[in-house]
Amino acid sequence: MTNRIIAPENLVYEKPKLMNDTAMHYCPGCSHGVVHKLVAEVVAEMGMEDKTVGVCPVGCAVFAYRYLDIDWQEAAHGRAPAVATGVKRVWPDRLVFTYQGDGDLACIGAAETIHALNRGENIPIIFINNAIYGMTGGQMAPTTLLGQKTATCPFGREPDLHGYPLNITELASHLKGTCYVTRQSVDTMASIAKAKKAIRKAFDASMQGKGSSLIEIVSTCNSGWKMSPVKANEWMRENMFKEYVKGDLKDTTAL
């Protein structure tokens, strides 16, 4: 008996064309894979497959270039916005974006992030905020919540000892060079759809020369948080969403 359901005319969803078959190194339950998929879909829907350059960070997404079949540059830790500036300024008709984590973007690369955004570079920055250093094994990030336990604040983050969580997305919304600053998540089907729209808007805005965009994706790191994927999503909604409130912080794109 042949399966009559598996037929081209019945196809309602498929793997994004720009995603290859390389097995991802991400942990099961991690948000990175979903966001990679959204980026692949958006680039293809814009018809920019042959005109896109991605810039990867140092952190869990250091190997992002393995999974999406576009040109990529691997930047030094925190330097992705400067590297992207270099690419975009010499190829202004290309789609140039960065993909960075919280340690890369908000800590070691805070200067590059703020100045690229403030110059209004026509670059969308995708910011994965999971409040921890995943790649190096779960140390404190600039976005680690107060009381949250990590390998370098094993008794919980205390403001007197470790300072406060850095809300760099709020900061970015006050910079004149930014046209779109938003905070999303990818924990439900509805939120994934919203996050994709946000990425599309930011990518479109960059190609229309409207300025820089920051798309924060509040994300899970179930390995770093030492939780099951389901529990990590629950913990994120209960704790992360209070400190990192979802929604658009700034939108002057008129898109």
Question: How many residues are given for the chain?
Answer: 255
Report if residue 31 touches another protein, rule: CB under 8 A.
no
Q: Which of 28, 111, 193, 208 binds another protein (CB under 8 A)?
A: 111
Provide the mask over 70-99, with x wherever binding to another protein is found by CB under 8 A and - wherever it is not: xxxxxxx--x--xxxxxxxxxx--x-----
Report if residue 65 touches another protein, rule: CB under 8 A.
yes
Q: Which of 55, 61, 181, 199 binds another protein (CB under 8 A)?
A: 55
Report if residue 136 touches another protein, rule: CB under 8 A.
no
Beta strands at 139-140 and 132-133: parallel, antiparallel or unpaired: antiparallel
Minimal distance in Å, beta carbon 224 to another protein? 20
Q: Among residues 152, 151, 168, 202, which one has the least CA distance to residue 42?
A: 202
Report if residue 53 touches another protein, rule: CB under 8 A.
yes
183, 251 contact by CB (below 8 A): no
In Å, the largest CA–CA distance within the chain is 69
- Ranges of H-type helices in the chain: 32-45, 80-90, 102, 110-119, 159-162, 168-173, 189-207, 222-225, 229-235, 241-243
Report if residue 243 touches another protein, rule: CB under 8 A.
no
Minimal distance in Å, beta carbon 93 to another protein? 9
Minimal distance in Å, beta carbon 66 to another protein? 8
C-alpha to C-alpha distance for 33 and 64, rounded to whole angstroms = 9
Minimal distance in Å, beta carbon 97 to another protein? 12
Contacting positions for another protein (CB under 8 A):
49-53, 55, 62, 65, 68-76, 79, 82-91, 94, 111-112, 115
